[in-house]
A and B are shown apart, each in its own frame.
Chain A
Amino acid sequence: MSTVAVTAEIVAQHQLTDSEYRKIVDILGRDPNYTELGIFSVMWSEHCSYKSSRLHLKKLPTRGKLVVQGPGENAGIIDAGGGYVIAFKIESHNHPSFIEPFQGAATGVGGILRDIYTMGARPIADLDSLRYGPLDDQQTGPRNRRILEGVVAGIAHYGNCFGVPTVGGECVFDACYNGNPLVNVFALGVAQKEDVFYARAAGVGNPVIYVGAKTGRDGIHGASMASAEFTEESKQKRPNVQVGDPFLEKLLLEACLEAMQTGAIVGIQDMGAAGLTCSTCEMGSRGSTGIEIELDRVPQRETGMTPYEIMLSESQERMLLVAEKGREEEVFAVFRKWGLDAVTIGAVTGDGLLRVKEHGRTVAEIPNRELADEAPLYDRPFTASPRRSLAPSTAQPAIAPLEALTRLLASADICSKRYIWEQYDHQVRTNTVAGPGADAAVIRIKENGVSVAMSLDGNGRYSYLSPREGAMLAVAECCRNLSTVGAQPVAATNCLNFGNPERPGIMAQLVEAIEGMAEACRFFETPITGGNVSLYNETLGEGIWPTPVIGVVGLMKTAAAVTRDFKSAGRPVILLGGVGGCDEAHFGGTQYAKVIRGDLWGLPPALDMDYEKRVEAAMREIVAAGLAESAHDVSDGGLAVCAAECSMGGVGAALHFESDLSPEFLLFHEGPSRILISTAAPDAVAEIAARHRVEAPRVGITMNERLALGNHGAMLVSIALDSLKAIYEGSLESHLRA
């Protein structure tokens, strides 16, 4: 059947272990040929099969009263009210973005968008969680800067042309991402409830139709590449990175949504990782059917492609759909209108097999279910995750609070990311109620008077100190972000970025993070409806910090957004949740510890989930009652950075505390469950806080032109807003020109 002989060496090259190969032989009842081996290797890659994480992912809560579709489909679906649903998911595109930043990030956006519209939902928002090595590092800085510029340009290129607003995300720098930048892309779409489509191949005899771009040799083994560590040879994998065409994707979107309206489509799935292989066997497996395709009919843009290459190509902008027999012409007519290829390449069969033919000869024949759903499952050994000592490595004298604040505002993690998000069209489709720079992005749904709020968060420093608490803090922060704009968190999607799971220490991080995330998602009632696991984020044996990223979605009645800027002078300022507590051990994960002390120690900030939930409930009530003139949650950089960020609109504040904490801890600790509010109705805010049994001290008053912070009558910080703003707004570009 195939000309390349399957030897032990070939099997090893496909990253299949001996036992995995034996399992293949068991399934087939014979040795696989070369094409079949390739098919198994991509479907059973870590990226596609979740073989190291599946066992633990089961611990995540996935059900809730609004959940229409949980994990297992191309995206999760939540009921958004009024007959409408939202579909959303986050995906990683870490490995390709390191090898080729522009195309890696662009195709990451393309892939997640297809996951959304293959469900019948029109994408209305995109957010990106990005992590890079430091921009000003002597050695790696130039490369990190090039990667950042490339990734941002790639996201802009794809999202802007496609016509989805890029409305938020995060951008963080740390040395652990030097050899493994993280590009996690989130997308969300909206559909009418009855218009949702699933990726199932049903109805024996129904035609299997290929639509979109022609198949080329690009991206072969992309999924396998994403399932291995990087080595010196990884640069040679550049051909494994796909090339995206956002214009074609836009046409494909419109054509698919229009074709779905004909009623002739039975099931549909995009060709993402593992391309034609994945879409055929997964649709067959979900529908408990077989699929037979003839490769001669697959539109190809190169000549002489082998079955192996066609089946494993990850060429972008392709979809596979199953239509009702006899109604093909209705589907073809739509694709013709949009100038796209649409070809019947096979049919649904009743035998449960994926049968691939070339010139009428069978070149691969594999049971769909075993291929798609019975990949090996590993209970990989894990020890305890590595820990740091509870005290900093060296004692350092405190520096003046003002100097600390300005250095923090200038740091790459905290400074304004305007330079990045102004390259993204964050308004197309005219739904953006709150865009980049807000605590949470808010997108209105025109049809039902509801707005969707979205936030992405992860914290590698916290998660390194405690994977469990780091994951919980990320969930809490997202839920707080949503509550700050007035939205009720309802569901979540996760992207788990970790190192090599074959190392027990790394596996421990993964397990602890999943368990922490599960506990927090259960507590905050935000079930996980889908997501992605990205392992082997290691280069030359150096792994990233555990970086679980969570995206939480919330709902609210459409209204003008509460934003973080103080609006007018003379307004009382309230710190909802109170000053909180801190000690040396819980200070080691903060931005202060990173930027000022250059150190990392101890534990992440302590989280009291019950208190957090009450703070959030109080905040939502304050927003709903229209009492918050501005609101911003306290997170990276602590209270001082929060107050400075609230002042960037030109109105500052004088805040005075009566705290026994040291100035360092008071101003810069990152304890959760705190939101800084300015209000014209402080008594009403206090009343709501009291009812939720939440502290809400009045800490000062807004004023023009300056920010002043003090404790026990002593002034700690006093600075003109013009200089604060210059530092905050100008820093990223100066880091990039370092």
Chain B
Amino acid sequence: MRFGVIVFPGSNCDHDAWYAVNHNLGHRAEFIWHDSATLGDVDAVILPGGFAYGDYLRCGAIAKFSPVMAAVRQFAADGGLVLGICNGFQILVEAGLLPGALIRNRNLKFICREVRLRTETVHSPFTAAGERGRVLRMPIAHGEGCYVADERTLDQLEAEDRVAFRYVETPNGSARDIAGILNERRNVLGMMPHPERASEALMGSSDGLVVFRSMVAASQPAAAVRI
């Protein structure tokens, strides 16, 4: 399977995602420069963590105007798998591909630590290889990861089983402990924790691999209908 990792100016987890896919997962990843008009021949797209455009103005607010985002939008509209991690999640929210917003952590500080996440649904191409209720260990590393949305949106996310991951204990004040959400069509996932940093035991956890493995399984021709 071929993963495309978008490189925005200021992305800094691009290489980590690339490495996790190539070396820990055993599939292929390639970089896609942000001003590319097309995604090339990829089966899934990762918007990596970092500080795209320095996070100036607002996290993701400038990155959403990168030329590549039109291609990402189209790719998502065509049912392609799009995974936004951390800054990637912020960009997806700014681009309107996911609802809500990510604001400053409740303690107003950057937080880098391992957290526990509960898998809330396996009905998605990002979690199908996991188990509902299974608690995963993954790191977070963000200053603006507090997920907020209006009550109606939050209710809708829950009613439609679109909360993919919830913090066991929220580190950042996120509404309803939300750590990751799916779009309506369930082919776009945004999450603040870093699965690519939890993809080998040497880094402290390999629980994040389940996300990538699910994507691989979902992309097999036989599984595609499950989306």
Contacts and interface: CB of A to CB of B under 8 A. Distances in A.
Given A246-B54, A250-B51, A423-B111, A430 B141 contact: no
A426 to B, nearest CB: 6
A427 interface: yes
A251 B51 CA distance: 11
A247 B56 contact: yes
Contact of B112 (A248, A250, A424, A430): A424
B113 interface: yes
A432 interface: yes
Contacts of B109: 153, 156, 422-423
A430 B111 contact: no
Contacts of B9: 247, 250-251, 338-339
B202 interface: yes
Contacts of B20: 430
Contact count band on A: 20 to 34
A68 to B, nearest CB: 25
Given A160-B141, A428-B16, A423 B112 contact: yes
A704 interface: no
A560 B202 contact: yes
B75 interface: no
B38 interface: no
Interface in A477-527: none
B13 A428 contact: yes
A247 B112 contact: no
A193 interface: no
A161 B51 contact: yes
A247 B54 contact: yes
B50 to A, nearest CB: 6
Contacts of A433: 202-203
A161 B142 CA distance: 10
B55 interface: yes
A342 to B, nearest CB: 15
Interface in B1-59: 9-10, 12-13, 15-16, 19-20, 23, 33, 49-51, 53-56
A429 B55 CA distance: 19
Given A430-B203, A444-B202, A560-B201, A161 B113 contact: no
B33 to A, nearest CB: 8
Given A245-B54, A444-B202, A558-B202, A430 B110 contact: no
A161 B56 CA distance: 11
A204 B33 CA distance: 37
B197 A427 contact: yes
A426 B114 CA distance: 11
A338 B35 CA distance: 11
A426 B112 contact: yes
A163 interface: yes
Interface string A336-351: 0111000000000000
B181 to A, nearest CB: 23
B130 interface: no
Nearest to A426: B112
B15 A429 contact: yes
A417 B25 CA distance: 35
A422 B111 contact: yes
B139 interface: yes
19 contacts: A161-B12, A162-B12, A163-B50, A163-B51, A247-B55, A250-B51, A251-B9, A339-B9, A422-B109, A422-B112, A423-B109, A423-B112, A424-B110, A429-B15, A430-B20, A432-B203, A433-B202, A433-B203, A446-B19
5 smallest beta-carbon distances between A and B, as pairs: A163-B12, A247-B54, A161-B51, A430-B16, A425-B141
Interface of A: 153, 156, 160-163, 245-248, 250-251, 337-339, 421-430, 432-433, 444, 446, 558, 560
Given A247-B55, A430-B197, 19 more contacts: A160-B112, A161-B54, A161-B55, A163-B13, A246-B51, A246-B54, A247-B9, A248-B54, A251-B9, A423-B111, A423-B112, A425-B141, A426-B112, A427-B112, A427-B194, A427-B203, A428-B141, A432-B203, A446-B23
